[in-house]
Structure 1
């Protein structure tokens, strides 16, 4: 038996093989390595879950803010369309400052340019909102350029009505369904 352990003499204590001691040390070493691996894996998983939660939460808050601003702007344009017959010169008379009086709120929309989460929003939503803003601005420019309530101004109003109807029927429900989906995801993550 001594011949078998001869190459492992350095493991012996006082010339006697101490296999229990070294076996225990090997088990401790293996369990430490396994423990560190499992702990790092669990930590990585928690970090990934936290990042996913934070990203989803940021997009959810961004979309909620966009929804509030978008609804306000739709209602504002609807009010302008309804009020136009009573006061068309508020759009056409330069001395009444029509450009300052008729402005869309765009703080959230402009802020989204600088948000790292903007492109995590559904592209159909971003495209729909972008088209709403640009199309309404184009029709407002036509309105401001007219000297009085003529056919071009009335046509611009009709176009504004169509743009608002499209935004209400297509873009807003899409945005609201996306918000509900994200709300459900956040609820699952916190349970």
Structure 2
């Protein structure tokens, strides 16, 4: 036991001696601490900038992805609405304008395409579409159904319904459709500026 104590004491004395012999001058120099502080600050700033850049890129990617989906949605709504305008104009000119019997009106009710319009309820990007277009489309279909119902029920004369329907179609072609087309084309330009290839979908068809 005395030998162990002596040995331990010798080791401690030797370590103390070596510690005293070391050059601790750098530890008391201000330059050392400034350098260490700069290293810490550089590390913190680097981590912050990297995280900030990563977050910014993630947000941009998410925004561009949603805009791309909304671009195709707006274009699809435009195409479907345009097709329905053509169908309804032929119906107004060839059927309603002749003021045919009620049985003929019931048999020749126009078949409108509403797949895209109905699909809007399930699209996560629907509410990112300007409300003017959603409201315009909603009012268009409501008025069309109302006019056709009034003609078929003889609430209005078919020829009068034809005139009212023609006025609605003219307004849609002159106002709603051009605005909707301009909207999706402007959105498409923004996506192209981000490097999104909008022709990919066409090439796969």
**TM-score surpassing 0.5?**
yes
Return closer, same or farther for 1:115/1:179 CA change in 2, 3 Å cut-off: same
User: C-alpha deviations, 1:59-98, integer Å up to 9, x for none?
Assistant: 2111011011000100110121232157945xx328x963
* Aligned pairs for 1:1-191 within 5 A: 14-15=19-20, 16-17=23-24, 18-19=26-27, 26-84=37-95, 88-89=100-101, 92-93=102-103, 98=107, 101-146=109-154, 152-190=157-195
Return closer, same or farther for 1:162/1:97 CA change in 2, 3 Å cut-off: closer
* Number of equivalences: 172
- 118-127 or 136-145, larger mean C-alpha shift: 118-127
CA contact (8 A) 1:98 1:144 kept: no
Separation in structure 2 between the aligned mates of residue 86 and residue 170 of structure 1, nearest angstrom: 28
Deviation, structure 1 residue 183: 1.3
CA contact (8 A) 1:59 1:117 kept: yes
Deviation, structure 1 residue 164: 0.5
CA contact (8 A) 1:139 1:156 kept: yes
Deviation, structure 1 residue 127: 1.8
CA contact (8 A) 2:150 2:156 kept: no
Instruction: List gaps (5 residues or longer) in structure 2.
Output: 1-17, 197-205
Deviation, structure 1 residue 27: 4.4
Deviation, structure 1 residue 57: 1.1
Deviation, structure 1 residue 155: 0.9
Separation in structure 2 between the aligned mates of residue 21 and residue 41 of structure 1, nearest angstrom: 30
TM-score, length basis structure 2: 0.72
Instruction: List gaps (5 residues or longer) in structure 1.
Output: 1-12
Q: Which has the larger radius of gyration?
A: 2
Deviation, structure 1 residue 55: 2.1
- Alignment RMSD (CA, Å): 2.8
